Amino acid sequence: MAKNIILLLEDQFRDEEAVYPYYRFLEAGYEVVTVGPEKGKTYTGKFGLPMAAEKTAQEIDLDQVAAVVVPGGNAPDKMRINQDMVKLVKDAFDACKIIAAICHGGWMLVEADIIRDKKVTGYKAIATDLKNAGGRYEDREVVVDNNIITSRKPEDLPAFCRSTLEMIKAYDKQ
């Protein structure tokens, strides 16, 4: 049973969409590993929250990973131009790991080309991008399609985290 949850970071992440899952998943007994383009660099949220990256995408051993979490804000727009970060999401998806993205985090799923024919949601500003990438957009607080979990906005965080934890437990039983 993999006990690591990867939390992707880049500057301008939506503060509560990173810190709420971080502490919720720690509380549930998982190790949360922060991953950014540069190991040791401190990334700053939209509202000033600093979070340091413990590892880079290349350092991640997917055998130890239960889920990859992509917070929103402006960070996903920056993350999606980093091929190592995109490859981590794609490889995790291909390895049947849980991929959980909230708000603008769906941009990373678009870039990794993993939402074709999948039900997804995200912040309304990226709904067209999700549809154009082949996703079947639904305006709901949380949408689960196989190993992909998506949510729209910070108010959806309780349902987002609950669904992610439920999915991890379900996958652990397989």
- Catalytic residue flag (residue 10): no
**Considering 78, 104, 118, 152, which one is annotated as catalytic?**
104
- Catalytic residue flag (residue 118): no
Q: State the residue for tokens 């999700």.
A: 130
Buried/exposed 33-56: b ≥16 CB within 10 Å, e otherwise: bbbbbeeeeebbbbeeeebebbeb
Side-chain half-sphere exposure of 53, counting CA atoms within 13 A: 22
**Considering 86, 98, 103, 114, which one is annotated as catalytic?**
103
CB 25 within 8 A of CB 83: no
Query: What backbone phi and psi angles, to 5 degrees, belong to 83?
Result: -60, -30
Q: Which two tokens stand for residue 6?
A: 């990867």
* Pairwise CA distance, residues 5 & 31, whole Å: 6
Residue 11 CB burial class (10 angstroms; 0-12, 13-18, ≥19):
middle
The residues annotated as belonging to the active site are 103-104
